[in-house]
């Protein structure tokens, strides 16, 4: 009796999806705020153009409010965290292209 060999399916060359753009990451642990105060508009929104020195949000750590700069230039394509959310060091906050 001949052993049956499993059929081999042709392997497709699927390349991993290349990252599209850059991210702005949290430089510290803290609470994310998208605007300077609750009654003011957000620093940036999806579609906003940022430069390296553009303030994109505030991170509150131990009652100190730290303005976070983009450190990259481009257009905000996605905001990855919610207002008032705790973030970790190095956590992506924004996607930029």
As given in the structure block, the two tokens for residue 39 are 């009654």
User: Which pLDDT belongs to residue 79?
Assistant: 97
Instruction: For each of the domains in the chain, give its residue range(s) and CATH number, in order of start.
Output: 22-96 (2.40.50.100)
Per-residue H/E/C for 23-54: EEECCCCEEEECCCCCCCCCCCCCCCEECCCC
pLDDT in tens, 15-37: 444 455 899 999 999 999 999 99
CA 35 to chain centre: 17
Higher pLDDT, 38 or 91: 91
**Is a pLDDT exceeding 50 seen at residue 14?**
no
Q: How large is the average pLDDT for residues 42-69?
A: 96
- Whether the CB-CB separation of 3 and 10 falls below 8 Å is answered with no
């Amino acid at each position: 009796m001949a052993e049956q060999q499993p059929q081999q399916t042709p392997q497709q060359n699927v390349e991993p999806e290349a990252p599209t753009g850059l991210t702005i990451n949290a430089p510290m642990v803290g609470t994310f705020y998208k605007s300077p105060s609750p009654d003011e508009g957000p620093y940036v929104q999806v579609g906003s153009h940022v430069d390296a020195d553009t303030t994109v949000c505030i991170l509150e750590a131990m009652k100190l409010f730290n303005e976070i700069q983009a450190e990259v230039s481009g257009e905000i394509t996605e905001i990855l965290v919610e207002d008032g959310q705790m973030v970790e060091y190095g956590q992506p906050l924004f996607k930029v292209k």
